[in-house]
């Protein structure tokens, strides 16, 4: 089924996070040291988000995010609102394989009130583009610790944990929907990592069956989505994007048939910027009523891709999914953590502009 692209996904997309301006990072440092108060930090965030909205309009995007400027990372802020939850991540060098962050769950999961409704309202008032809210996936917490992390402190029954997760995510989606939000992206990195032999081995070592875990994660996500009408919801998959590092490699083949057909998601934003993602063959499983945003432009590398090479890659992907059901984007955000990837603000803008130009020359619209 061809999409009109009057609604998401647009032909030119971006995944969400943007490089934090130096002034904002300095304000965060000063706030952490007690040199400024929360109101002063919020003013700095507001200013940075205004500039981010202008950047996205300037390059010609039809959607806008707040750059995730109020968050330290794409997932920690959200999960931190649901309980006593933290993630430990060991540092590493850009371009290398980093250690998967480990989750600590020290309280029951509970939605206490709107998390991103205010962010949506602030952004909507400052852009003519369609605001997009990004949230972490409902299975990310479990993936980063397994049943052992769930039951170590907070839960005696893993099923109770899943019930709490489903309720919390449904409440948040209803909240942003009630605020007027019509576009949400779920960042669920776990699915893309099941194709990595090392990741599968680590899951087995902690007592998990990777193939059964895929089924569980699909079922949990579908429960979350079951009663959330009125919002276009896409899912972004990648293999790690922390300060230029990555966490996994391998094709989507291990999950493609189940993921594309059983998951109640309208469209998928897929990492496809390097050989680590494999080829386009798994796209043969995408059903005719779903579409794919191809993440062909790297947010990890500080050089601009060749547009003709990107067009060739689009042609290759169109062998499996018709061009009318494809779109393009960077492979991930530019700053999944506030440290950001090792590229310059100028290169970030050039890459976003390249995505828009590629879309316009391919489909006649961004």
Sketch the domain layout of the chain as residue ranges: 22-363
Residues 280, 340, 291: CA angle, nearest 5 degrees = 30
pLDDT per residue rounded down to tens, the chain (366 residues): 334 447 899 999 999 999 999 999 999 999 999 999 999 999 999 999 999 999 999 999 999 999 999 998 877 889 999 999 987 765 555 556 666 778 899 999 999 999 999 999 999 999 999 999 999 999 999 998 899 999 999 999 999 999 999 999 999 999 999 999 999 999 998 898 888 889 899 999 999 999 999 999 999 999 999 988 789 999 999 886 665 565 677 789 999 999 999 999 999 999 999 888 889 999 999 999 999 999 999 999 999 999 999 999 999 999 999 999 999 999 999 998 898 999 999 999 999 999 999 999 999 999
Rg, Å, the chain Cα set = 19
| CATH architecture entry for 22-363 | Alpha-Beta Barrel (3.20)
209: which residues sit within 8 A by CB, 6+ positions away?
203
* Amino acid 103: pLDDT: 86
Residue 157: in which H helix or E strand, if any? none
Mapped onto helix, strand or coil, the DSSP state of residue 104 is strand
Q: Can you tell me the distance from the alpha carbon of 59 to that of 358, in angstroms, rounded to the nearest whole number?
A: 12
Pairing between β-strand 130-131 and β-strand 183-187 as defined by DSSP bridges: unpaired
144-166 burial, b if ≥16 CB within 10 A, otherwise e? bbbeebbbeebbeeeeebbebbb
Tell me how far apart the alpha carbons of residues 210 and 317 are, in angstroms, rounded to a whole number: 27
> What's the pTM?
0.92
- Give the single-character DSSP code of 304: P
Nearest Cα residue to 274 out of 308, 309, 306, 249: 249
Contact 260, 236 (CB under 8 A): no
Per-residue pLDDT, 351: 98
């Amino acid at each position: 089924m061809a999409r009109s692209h009057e609604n998401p996904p647009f032909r030119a997309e971006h995944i969400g996070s943007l490089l934090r301006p130096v002034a904002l990072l300095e304000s965060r440092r000063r706030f952490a040291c007690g040199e400024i108060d929360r109101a002063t930090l919020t003013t700095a965030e507001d200013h940075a988000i205004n500039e981010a909205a202008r950047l996205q309009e300037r390059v010609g995007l039809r959607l806008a995010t707040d750059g995730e400027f109020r968050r330290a990372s794409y997932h920690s802020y959200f999960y931190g609102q649901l309980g006593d939850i933290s993630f430990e991540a060991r540092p590493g060098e850009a371009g290398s394989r980093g250690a998967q962050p480990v989750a600590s769950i020290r309280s029951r999961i509970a939605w206490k009130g709107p998390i991103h409704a205010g962010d949506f309202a602030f952004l909507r008032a400052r852009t003519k583009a369609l605001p997009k809210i990004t949230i972490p996936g409902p299975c990310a917490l479990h993936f980063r610790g397994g049943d052992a992390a769930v039951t170590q402190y907070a839960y005696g029954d893993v099923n109770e944990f899943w019930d709490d997760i489903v309720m919390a995510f449904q409440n948040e989606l209803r909240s942003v929907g009630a605020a007027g939000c019509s576009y949400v992206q779920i960042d669920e990195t776990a699915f893309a990592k099941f194709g990595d032999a090392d990741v599968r081995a680590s899951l087995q070592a902690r007592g998990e069956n990777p193939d059964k875990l895929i089924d569980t994660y699909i079922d949990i996500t579908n429960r979350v989505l079951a009663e959330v009408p009125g919002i276009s919801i896409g899912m972004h998959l990648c293999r790690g994007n922390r300060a230029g590092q990555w966490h996994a490699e391998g094709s989507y083949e291990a999950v493609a048939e189940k993921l594309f057909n059983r998951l109640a998601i309208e469209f998928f934003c897929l990492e496809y910027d390097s050989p680590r993602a494999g080829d386009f063959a798994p796209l043969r499983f995408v059903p005719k009523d779903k579409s794919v945003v191809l993440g062909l432009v790297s947010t990890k590398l500080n050089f601009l891709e060749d547009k003709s090479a990107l067009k060739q890659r689009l042609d290759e992907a169109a062998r499996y999914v018709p061009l009318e059901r494809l779109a393009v984007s960077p492979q991930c955000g530019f700053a999944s953590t506030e440290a950001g990837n090792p590229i310059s603000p100028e290169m970030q803008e050039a890459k976003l502009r390249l995505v828009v130009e590629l879309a316009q020359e391919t489909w006649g619209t961004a």
